[in-house]
Amino acid sequence: MKSNLYALNVDLQDFFVQLYNVILEYRPGRLVFLIMSTTTLMPYTNKNMKVRNLLENDAGGGSVSGSVAGEVLAEALKIMLCDDRQHDMQKAAAFVKRLATFSLCFGSAESMAGLFSVKPLLRSEFEATSSEDMKVQNLLENDVGGGSVSGSVALEGVFIRSRSKARKSDQGAVADYLNNDLPDKLCPDDVFLTLGCTQAIEIVLTVLARPGANILLPRPGFPYYEAICGQRHLEFRHFDLLPEKGWEVDLTAIEALADAKTTAMVIINPGNPTGSVYSYQHLQKVAETAKKLGILVIADEVYGHLAFGDTPFTPMGVFSSTVPIITLGSISKRWIVPGWRIGWLITNDPHAILKDTGIVDSIKGFLNLSSDPATFIQGAIPRILENTKPEFFSKIIGLLREAAQIFHEKIKQIPCITCPNKPEGSMFMMVKLNLSLLEDINDDVDFCLKLAKEQNTIVLPGVAVGMKNWLRITFAIDPSALSDGLERIKCFYEGHAKKR
């Protein structure tokens, strides 16, 4: 088999190209390997007939499991790594590991983890019999050959890096913290620690991405969802939040948008960028609608418990007995430590639906290929969650309540801006521009650019979060600075108001 590779270019360059093309052509549930690829990559010999047969048996595009694909790639990697020619094995190891990481962009985590199930290659079939062989094995096991990771590599199932020492006690601490509000209790295995909530978003969208699949996103919302959907080739469809109803989800629109290929809907509560907090009754209706449509709910609760109005915060996980819930969160907002970059992805799944459908395994597969939160922050999580005094949270809520009150009172003094609701949670609010009262202002972007230039005050144009001619303003700043900023917006209006 090794001799058959000698026809390839120096340092197996063409082999690398072919191997990468195989990854790109793979899709979950449908393995499309071209006959041309098998001819170039795997010439006929008795020894490699097994590999070629595996490829050709599904050349028509039938269903292939991740384990079968894993056998194919494992055989190919064994050829590359066990070749007795003098190649740059450090580059080879780096290539393989980067290939494994980047391949997540082209398929589900579960499928891609299956592709790299080559434990036999490293542990039994690959025997280090020379100094060069030992070098290759060390490169793979210690990760010296490429990619930046911390901690040791655990060779369990996938040979590339696995999660670094996320202890059960850390996951258990998160489960205990969340269990304070949940009727169906979580266990440590339901908790996955992530690099902040943004990585949790990446994981869940990657896991749900399938050819032709779609997901329902709120408008206005957090634009990171659209960005990741675009990267993962996952179609997104927007449902409106209703400002006249406290930014509640338009459930009628949800039913109209969903079809047989809809996988999930996203809700953000407390709302970013709306400042809303959903009632228990509304969240119950959301859960019932999702159950009716056969989709799961992704609950972005990164602003969880930052509620300071009349509506208390209710976690979506309360309704996990109705529909599977994947909860995303972090310590960044409630503890005001965004730079610490530790969050979580929670599977609220008392009926084991997420487990039985492979979603949990897919999440694990993604995490086996990704970076982890800093280990010293992971180690601090139990004490952070258990020992923070209630007075700390009360102070944060008090400051936000005061700022929201200032915001609501002063924004009403600016005629060209309408605030549909008083903020009740998170740190943001959406307000509507009335362009008919302004001269030489074309839209929300023009408003924001001229405001920044003339008043040194920056707000976000609503089009960035899906609402043209609206503005998103944060009130999570010092009250005096907030008052000054709103006064500057008022001055800007007066300078651009239409003459009567």
DSSP, residue by residue, 365-428? HHHTTS----HHHHHHHHHHHHH--HHHHHHHHHHHHHHHHHHHHHHTT-TTEE-SS---BSSE
| Alpha carbon 269 to its chain's center | 16
- Residues 6 or more apart whose CB falls under 8 angstroms from that of 377 comprise 340, 341, 342
pLDDT of residue 338: 87
C-beta separation of 277 from 424 below 8 A:
yes
Question: Any idea which of 30-39, 246-255, 315-324, 373-382 has the lowest mean pLDDT?
Answer: 30-39
Give CA 426 to chain center in angstroms.
20
Q: What is the pLDDT of residue 375?
A: 83
Residue 78, pLDDT score: 54
pLDDT at 42: 38
**Torsion sign, CA atoms 479, 484, 487, 493:** negative
Q: What predicted TM-score, i.e. pTM, was given to this entire model? A: 0.69
Quick check: 261 pLDDT over 80?
Answer: yes
Contacts 24+ apart (CB under 8 A), 138-142: 139/89, 139/90, 139/93, 139/94, 140/81, 140/93, 140/96, 140/97
- Output 243 or 165, whichever has higher pLDDT: 243
Amino acid identity for residue 85 in this structure: R
Mean pLDDT of 413-430: 96
Decide: helix, strand or coil at residue 163. coil
pLDDT of residue 134: 52
Query: Is pLDDT larger for residue 113 or for residue 367?
Result: 367
What is the average pLDDT across 37-66?
A: 40
Residue 242 has pLDDT above 80, yes or no: yes
Share of the chain above pLDDT 70, in %: 67
> Do 55 and 38 contact (CB within 8 A), yes or no?
yes
Q: What is residue 466's DSSP assignment? A: T
Binned at pLDDT 50, 70 and 90, residue 374 comes out as confident
Paired strand residues for 296: 264
Question: How would residue 43 be classed by pLDDT, with cut points 50, 70 and 90?
Answer: very low
* Per-chain mean pLDDT for the chain: 78
Specify the pLDDT at position 36: 31
Q: Kindly list the distances between the CA atom of residue 488 and the CA atoms of 286, 412, 413, 429, 433, in Å, as whole numbers in the listed order.
A: 40, 14, 12, 18, 16
Q: Which helix (H) or strand (E) holds 238?
A: strand 235-242
Residue 403 confidence (pLDDT) above 70: yes
Q: Are strands 296-300 and 262-268 parallel, antiparallel or unpaired?
A: parallel
pLDDT computed for residue 277 by the predictor = 98
Q: Which amino acid is at 329?
A: G
* For residues 220-231, average pLDDT: 96
Structure tokens at 377: 């922050």
Please report which confidence band the pLDDT of residue 411 belongs to, taking 50, 70 and 90 as the band edges. Answer: very high
